[in-house]
Amino acid sequence: MRVLALILLLTADSAFSGEFVVFHSGATMHVDRHEIDGAKVRLFNGEGSIELAASEVLRFEEEQAGPQPASSVPVPRLPAEPPAADRPRSPAELADAAADRYGLDRKLVRLVMAAESGFQPQAISPKGAIGLMQLMPTTAQSLGVDPHDPAQNVDAGARQLRALVIKYGGGLRHVLAAYNAGEGAVDKYRGIPPFPETIEYITRIEREYLKSGN
């Protein structure tokens, strides 16, 4: 069953000044202002800016004042892994099993795993994220899993993805942005946060995910 559809929603928890960029793909991004220079558009946020092809932008919308509450969807606390006798061994098999368990697209879970750890079970990021799905220790603790156990790590990462799919209505870019930068950042900016690392992360996974008709 295909869970993810390219339907992108806005969520927020505070008021901003500025505007929203609406892309042809349906994604949105909050910015302070924009400048158009021929075939290019430059988006400004804080002290930084991002330059994109103007053809990617559908329109600009003025921000409406007033906060909008953002709901928080709890991550389901389900069994962390299948019985040991049935446990897949390779990272790809773990990704597929977790995807099937939570109704996610196998290709998506594999791509997130590849982007997060390069399929390396022992990967540890400079910020302390652990394992195949790069769980932070506090996240692993809240989900009741051992992040150093590959099966538990992947299961918890898939549970996070599933919770984000529910929260953001299946919006692929918002799901990926929240997994990379955190739900708080997506809610704060009412869409994709203007972080170069997050934008590159989304672009890389989305490009591969949409190949072969996905």
Q: What are the backbone angles phi and psi of residue 94, rounded to the nearest 5°?
A: -65, -40
Q: What are the backbone angles phi and psi of residue 79, rounded to the nearest 5°?
A: -50, 135
Report, in this order, helix, strand and coil percent for the chain, each rounded to 5: 40, 15, 40
Taking the C-alpha atoms of residue 131 and residue 129, their distance in angstroms, rounded to an integer, is 7
DSSP secondary structure string, 77-128? ---SS--GGG---SHHHHHHHHHHHTT--HHHHHHHHHHHHTT-TT-B-TT-
- DSSP class of residue 56 equals G
Q: What 3 state SS string does 17-43 have?
A: CCEEEEECCCCEEEECEEEEECCEEEE
Q: What are the backbone angles phi and psi of residue 149, rounded to the nearest 5°?
A: -85, 115
Q: Which one from 116, 183, 200, 208 is the annotated catalytic residue?
A: 116
Residue type, 27: A
β-bridge partners, 60: 21
183 is catalytic: no
- Angle subtended at Cα 34 by Cα 68 and Cα 50, rounded to the nearest 5 degrees: 95
Taking the C-alpha atoms of residue 99 and residue 211, their distance in angstroms, rounded to an integer, is 19
Q: What residues are annotated to the active site?
A: 116
